[in-house]
Structure 1
Amino acid sequence: MGHMANNPATYLVAHRGDRAGGVENTLAAFVHAARAGARFAECDIQFTCELIPVVLHDNTLGRLCDREDLCVGDTDLSALTVACSPRFELLTLKALLQWLRKQPQLTLFVEVKPDILHRLSPTVVADLLAEALPADQLQQLVVISESGPIIDACKTQLGCRTGWVSETAHQPESVIDYVFMPYSRTAEIEAWHARGVKVGLYTINSPDLASALLAQHADLVETDHFTHMSALLA
């Protein structure tokens, strides 16, 4: 229970930002989390048809904009921006990283969604990320993905910290720094710790559950409601 003696910001991850600040994966959501004291945040990236990384979880705009007809990978940035505008301001990874420069206390987990593998090889994806992620910001970033091959390529080509989102059986072959998995899998924590890997669990919006998971030695807890959870846990 050593975690519980600390500021909740030392283990809470603002999952896609803080929903109290705005729609998930928007700058408003990340700003709100940072102002509330977050030290960790997670974002998702998809690639437009021009291969511009944008901060979106889904490869369609169905859930967020009621536009199932628009696939992110088949649409250019301009059209996506217009489609999102009635609901939220679409955020590019470039803009998020520019803002992050002014938040030295914040570590950002950048989750690369595996949809891009339908178009590009893991090596080419890593090349795109090498262009998108400034070398002088890598110490503030952790590249994560469900795709082991994407993680392996990023470890080789960027030399950055990496993490695996454990949704498939295909683990990265390279050494990883973090693993993220559903909170029901606490039985695996000890084995990952034995490998020197920190464990993050998702997605937890109950302070009682967060406390129970920390007692089982989870390192990080992802939450949609950072401000609310942080206040209750404190």
Structure 2
Amino acid sequence: MTRTRPLHPYLDRPTPLAFAHRGGAAGGIENTAAAFRRAAELGYRYFETDVHATADGRLVAFHDATLDRVTDARGRIGALSWAEVARARVAGREPLPLLADLLAEFPDARWNVDVKAPPALLPLLDLIRSTDSWDRVCVGSFSEARVARAARLAGPRLATSYGVRGVLGLRLSSLGVPFPVRRGAVCAQVPVEQAGVRVVDRRFVARAHARGLQVHVWTVNEADRMEALLDLGVDGIMTDHLETLRAVFEARGVWR
């Protein structure tokens, strides 16, 4: 049963939603086509990924600004051509995918896309427009200015989540402290806590729902924490551990 009427077609599926964070990062091949294929085989239909633009404007699904941590190559993606980035291998074996290729390979998936750097924003909007993926993509960022700009440029066809400022405003509002927040977001995507301060509790969820917003929590990998969040009424959970979240949802009869 859906707890809140969705503000955008991106969220028109029954909640709670199960998100494969980076395709299931626990498998060691995060943000690769192979990771997302595995997530799809397990039944996931909501995928979380990140994007950077190469020096020649190609949009790569990758979390870090540099290749150093998870690939066999080095260098900053924004300073490299796509031909150079395409030679890198995650865990020494899996190529980095273009977001356009992922959208094409998984036409039934919904994508939560974190825009990691300003140069990626316009290519992302162009891709969403050219593929008519308005109902399939939600744009997020830690930068409220970045997602606000995306919303201004694309209009209400685009689903966006709150950045840090929006989440702060929603949290303060849930505590009775007035704080202006951007209108037009369709969800709040938040950690359970930040810098030791609790973000998600019953008041936060209630305040979000009162504004028509869904609450998606990242990145949750322990079954007991998943259970506690679902008891609070959150609308979605992002996880690296795909089997764990699926098992929790199945036990509750909400795996779809």
TM-score interval w.r.t. the shorter chain? 0.7 to 0.9
Give the match for residue 202 of structure 1. 218
CA separation of 1:57 and 1:73: change in aligned 2, threshold 3 A: same
Counterpart-to-counterpart distance in 2, 1:162 and 1:231: 29
Q: Structure 2 length normalisation: TM-score?
A: 0.75
Give the match for residue 107 of structure 1. 110
CA separation of 1:201 and 1:20: change in aligned 2, threshold 3 A: closer
Counterpart-to-counterpart distance in 1, 2:70 and 2:78: 16
Q: Structure 1 length normalisation: TM-score?
A: 0.82
CA separation of 1:2 and 1:156: change in aligned 2, threshold 3 A: closer
Q: Which amino acid aligns with 1:112?
A: V
Counterpart-to-counterpart distance in 2, 1:79 and 1:19: 24
Select the residue among 224, 227, 231 that pairs with 1:211. Answer: 227
C-alpha RMSD of the superposition = 2.7
Deviation at 1:98, TM superposition (A): 0.8
CA contact (8 A) 1:166 1:179 kept: no
Counterpart-to-counterpart distance in 1, 2:131 and 2:183: 20
CA separation of 1:12 and 1:41: change in aligned 2, threshold 3 A: same
Counterpart-to-counterpart distance in 1, 2:51 and 2:207: 29
Of 146-155 and 51-60, the range deviating more from structure 2: 146-155
Give the match for residue 72 of structure 1. 77
Select the residue among 37, 59, 64 that pairs with 2:65. Answer: 59
Give the match for residue 187 of structure 2. 178
What are the Cα deviations for residues 139-193 of structure 1, in whole angstroms up to 9, with x where unaligned? 1111111122221222222231111243885996341001111113113222222
Q: Which amino acid aligns with 1:128?
A: P
Deviation at 1:77, TM superposition (A): 0.9
- 1:1-234 mapped onto 2 (5 Å cutoff): 10-19=16-25, 23-65=29-71, 67=73, 69-84=74-89, 86-101=92-107, 104=108, 106-113=109-116, 115-116=117-118, 120=119, 126-133=121-128, 134-158=130-154, 159-166=157-164, 173-184=182-193, 185-187=199-201, 188-234=204-250
Q: What SS is found at the alignment partner of 1:152? A: helix
CA separation of 1:126 and 1:45: change in aligned 2, threshold 3 A: closer
Counterpart-to-counterpart distance in 1, 2:22 and 2:231: 25
What are the Cα deviations for residues 116-152 of structure 1, in whole angstroms up to 9, with x where unaligned? 3xxx5xxxx5432232123522111111111222212
Counterpart-to-counterpart distance in 2, 1:126 and 1:70: 21
CA contact (8 A) 1:205 1:229 kept: yes
Counterpart-to-counterpart distance in 1, 2:159 and 2:215: 14
Identity of aligned residues (%): 28
Counterpart-to-counterpart distance in 1, 2:168 and 2:67: 28
Counterpart-to-counterpart distance in 1, 2:55 and 2:229: 40
